[in-house]
Amino acid sequence: MLPKHHDPEMASVLGGYRRAIIGLGLMSGLVNILYLTGSFFMLEVYDRVIPSRSVPTLLGLAILALLLYAFQGGLEILRARALVRVGATLDEALSPRVFDTVVRAPLVGTMPGDGLLPVRDLDALRTFLSGPAPSALFDLPWMPLYLGICFLFHPLIGVAALFGGFALVALTILTDRMTRAPAQKATGFAVRRNALAEAGQRNAEVLAALGMREVFARRWTNASRDYLQTQQIVADVGSGLGAVSKVFRLALQSGVLALGAYLVIQGEASSGIIIASSILVSRALAPVELAIANWRSFVAARQSWHRLDHLFATLPRLPERNTLPAPSQRLSVQSLSVAPPSVQRVVLHDVSIELEAGDSLGIIGPSASGKSSLARAIVGVWSPLRGYVRLDGASLDQWSSTVLGRHIGYLPQEVELFDGTIAENIARFDPDATPEAIIKAAQAAGFHDAIVNMPDGYDCTIGERGTRLSAGQRQRVGLARALYRDPFLVVLDEPNANLDVAGENALSAAMMSVRQRGGIVIVVAHRPNVLSTVDLILALSDGRIADFGPKDEVLRRLLRPAPVPASDPREIKRTPVTGGVQKESHGSSMIRQVRA
């Protein structure tokens, strides 16, 4: 039930299980041959034992049948366990790629809604492979064997079995057609419901403080109702047609019994064929009935496979990169244009800057001018539409993410911390982190004394998203994480948004220490205090460079009064002081505070 066309990566994963699939097929062949035990045992009992009244013959047949049943049971257990292990190894093989796509997809805008859907798809595939449904797939190719034996018993019995097989196959096709669209809709509603639940959990404080819980509860209830309705449709169709197939198979089995009795009366068959043919027809049609009963898992697995197939093709595996020397000289931004993921709107146009080791750049500008977008592009979070970001002449795409991350320190506006200790978060969960490197980063952020005064100190568990810390403490931990192991490039996006005076002083000292050791510091700021330590200013307006250069020169140009039209001096005299004569340029009010 998997799609015929796969992404090469998915095809290679399937290729690794070719031997296991062949082995399962051979095992299923033996199991299906052993399923004939019951039919032939009944045939021999009615046609040989009863007429001869031979107890030894009956005893021998019974012992042989028991041995064959035991062998069949052992093979069934082995097949079930093999399927469970195939599902587990498939999960193990795909898990790294699934996690890779989960964390990369938001950066390229390919996964709206439920960001954990690929994980659920992988769970659905593993559950499908570990359940009874694949056994039905392996048993279906053996239906012609049973039908052929039915024709050997008598052509009419074969025709009856063949008719039953076609009827159940028709029911299977009907089940697929009637459940495909509702199952797809159910997946969409499930994504929406999960996204609302995650958003509610993430913004629990806002919902409580602003009285929005009931409103969001209604939205979630509506999404849940839509999901349950579509799931109910799928369940009703599947269970209804499953019940029809079960009743039909029982009726067919009874019909074959009656047909066998008729043939015995007419002298065209022996009495053993009555029971044997009934058992054989039932076994021939059992895989189709099992497939219908498990059709929901078939559909779910097929949709999951298609989604993973598409996702892997959209986000191919990143190639291996040669290890470059650690950057130590300069940062170059060349004609950079950037658009947010999944948004067809350029927010940064043709930005070019050059920074040398020891430089410190402050990025200013009004809201939505592109400051944070530039910061994300410089650290490689967003890919440029045009242009390059280079470290020592090498563009960022020449580095692997793991290696590049060692040379970059980044503090975003929204500080995201992880469930773990303070030390683990500062060390970026590096398994090889040393206490000396962790403490050095905390001291560089001016946060060491505060940490040791906490319960358990560096081993204090902060909870998911750092909920056990205040906003200022989270920002200080994030700053220490950015400074961990002295990265060459440090980019800070509004790092003083939640800091007090002591925190801002520590931030300024940290920025100076980066410059003194030959690193580059870039800071995005709305509050002017942090700009006192920078030597270069980049002013952005509407995603374009408004000014760039040494701090004092840029401040002087931005503070220059706007020219006053001199066509009519009398009008200028009548213009109030609060009019447009002394209009300031973008960001000049903040820069005036910096100069003060």
Extended strands (E) in 245-392: 330-338, 348-356, 360-364, 386-391
Collapsed DSSP state (helix, strand, coil) of residue 388: strand
Statement to judge: residues 267 and 344 lie in one domain: no
Q: Is residue 569 a part of any domain in this protein?
A: no
Q: Is residue 571 a part of any domain in this protein?
A: no
Statement to judge: residues 359 and 214 lie in one domain: no
Statement to judge: residues 271 and 349 lie in one domain: no
Q: Is residue 580 a part of any domain in this protein?
A: no
Statement to judge: residues 450 and 376 lie in one domain: yes
Task: Please say whether the beta carbons of 541 and 367 come within 8 A.
Answer: no
Q: Is residue 594 a part of any domain in this protein?
A: no
Angle of the 143-153 helix axis to the 271-293 helix axis, nearest 10:
160
Statement to judge: residues 284 and 343 lie in one domain: no
According to DSSP, the residues that pair with 493 across neighbouring strands are 524
Going by the DSSP 8-state scheme, the letter that residue 421 receives in this structure is B
Write down the pLDDT at residue 352. Answer: 95
Give the number of other CB atoms < 10 A from CB of residue 440.
18
Statement to judge: residues 448 and 310 lie in one domain: no
- Per DSSP bridges, beta strands 489-493 and 408-411 are parallel
The residue range of the domain holding 141 is: 9-314
According to DSSP, the residues that pair with 523 across neighbouring strands are 362, 492
Q: Is residue 396 a part of any domain in this protein?
A: yes
Q: Is residue 241 a part of any domain in this protein?
A: yes
Q: Is residue 321 a part of any domain in this protein?
A: no
pLDDT in tens, the chain (596 residues): 444 444 567 767 777 778 888 888 899 989 989 988 988 888 888 888 888 888 999 999 999 999 999 999 999 999 989 998 888 888 888 888 889 888 888 887 665 556 678 888 898 888 888 888 888 888 888 888 888 888 888 889 888 888 888 887 788 788 778 887 888 788 778 878 877 887 777 777 677 777 788 887 888 888 888 888 888 888 888 788 778 877 887 888 888 888 888 888 888 888 888 888 888 888 888 887 777 777 778 888 888 888 888 888 888 888 888 888 999 999 999 999 999 887 778 999 999 999 999 999 999 999 889 999 999 999 999 989 999 999 999 999 898 888 999 999 999 988 989 999 999 999 999 999 999 999 999 999 999 999 999 989 999 999 888 888 998 999 999 999 999 999 999 999 999 888 888 888 999 999 999 999 999 999 998 777 788 889 999 999 999 999 999 998 888 887 766 555 554 444 433 333 333 333 344 444 444 444 44
Give the number of other CB atoms < 10 A from CB of residue 261.
14
- Cα separation of 180 and 552, whole Å? 66
Statement to judge: residues 383 and 288 lie in one domain: no
- Cα separation of 224 and 575, whole Å? 62
Statement to judge: residues 555 and 423 lie in one domain: yes
Task: Please say whether the beta carbons of 241 and 174 come within 8 A.
Answer: yes
- Cα separation of 247 and 168, whole Å? 11
Statement to judge: residues 282 and 374 lie in one domain: no
Task: Please say whether the beta carbons of 547 and 537 come within 8 A.
Answer: yes
Angle of the 155-202 helix axis to the 295-314 helix axis, nearest 10:
50
Q: What is the CATH number of the domain that holds 336?
A: 3.40.50.300
Statement to judge: residues 283 and 392 lie in one domain: no
Statement to judge: residues 307 and 424 lie in one domain: no
Write down the pLDDT at residue 13. Answer: 75
Q: What is the CATH number of the domain that holds 136?
A: 1.20.1560.10
pTM, whole model, 2 decimals?
A: 0.73
Write down the pLDDT at residue 7. Answer: 54
- The tally of domains found in the chain comes to 2
